[in-house]
Amino acid sequence: MKIAMIGAGGWGTAMMIELSGRHDDLVMYCRNPETAAKMRKSRINQEYLPDARIPEKVRIISDLEETVSGADCCIICTPSHVVENMAERIAPFLQKDALVVCASKGLADNEGHRLSEVIAKKVDGITNKIVALSGPNHAEEVGIGLPCATVAASEVPEAVQSVQDIYMSPVFRVYRSDDIRGVEYGGALKNIMALACGVLDGIGLGDNCRAALMTRGLVEMTRFGVHFGAKMTTFFGLSGMGDLVCTCTSVHSRNHRAGMMMAKGMTAEEIRSSTNMVVEGIRTARLVHEIALREHIDMPITEEVCHLIKGDHNALGALEALMTRAKKAESETYPM
């Protein structure tokens, strides 16, 4: 079986390392030929995953046609805003009925389309085996073989079963789901809450406040997803609560780090220019807030994160706005 990885960032590299334990025909696409050459020589992704070694069996190339042609499984692992374009680029080389896995997290466009939706449109007539892979999986830990679990979701049962077969190992456990909407929304929206938790930690508000924010953040995530047809129970699983806990509390979380920078008064542009990694939560917060206003979905934490991004409020102002909202029963705020 040939497995093609589209994207040579930290997560794409970590997955190639993990998959190398059971597969031999592995190709990773790196768009920069110089970077690809350096990784081939050193077997290290110095920019994104410096503590993990890439096995020799992983071919690292900059030719997209060579990467995708003949692949039984093609994994897209790029920033969310380029997923649609990348799906369009790989379509001419994709073999009939190939498995396409989206390991990116975020929303595709200003209309809030999910990543699997735009991929499906670009590969229509070639394959319908589209799978979303999402969960509490930091590349820094997966790359060095620490155990974790994730969830694969698809509307095509045999596709998600194939992903289980491809990925499963003693250190990488994969669960199945038929709720691709919920899995994708969980993976996207938790980054907004990670920004908020970073702000909270940046101004030293403590564990009680973090627990409250994460709990209410999960309610917001669920409310948004259910509005668009996701199952409420999905948000209590690995792609919802699991990923939320991981990204809101970990030193590996770039969104949490960005929130801490926001707490110090840095603007979104300053944060973006300070790192070579994509902070998905900033873009997702803006998109989700616009959609929530349009669809009349109550998302107060997301709204305050957007105020912080735009500089309308400082961290203490955002906190006061959330803490002084109208009194409510906890149960009335859950999506039904």
Model pLDDT for residues 63-85, shown as the tens digit of each residue:
999 999 999 999 999 999 999 99
| pLDDT at 33 (0 to 100) | 97
Q: pTM (2 decimals)?
A: 0.95
Residues carrying an active site annotation: 190
Domains and CATH numbers, the chain: 2-178 (3.40.50.720), 181-333 (1.10.1040.10)
**Residues of 280-300 as b/e, b for ≥16 C-beta within 10 angstroms?**
bbbbbbbbbbebbeeeebebe
99, 108, 109: which is closest to 133 by C-alpha? 99
Compute the distance between CA of residue 42 and CA of residue 46 in angstroms, rounded to an integer: 9
| pLDDT at 335 (0 to 100) | 76
| pLDDT at 315 (0 to 100) | 92
Cα distances from 197 to residues 48, 206, 208, in angstroms, run 23, 10, 12
Compute the distance between CA of residue 59 and CA of residue 244 in angstroms, rounded to an integer: 33
Provide φ and ψ at 169, rounded to 5°.
Answer: -155, 175
Compute the distance between CA of residue 135 and CA of residue 105 in angstroms, rounded to an integer: 10
| pLDDT at 336 (0 to 100) | 61
> Strand pairing partners for 58?
26
Compute the distance between CA of residue 84 and CA of residue 72 in angstroms, rounded to an integer: 20
Residues of the chain with pLDDT under 70: 277, 336
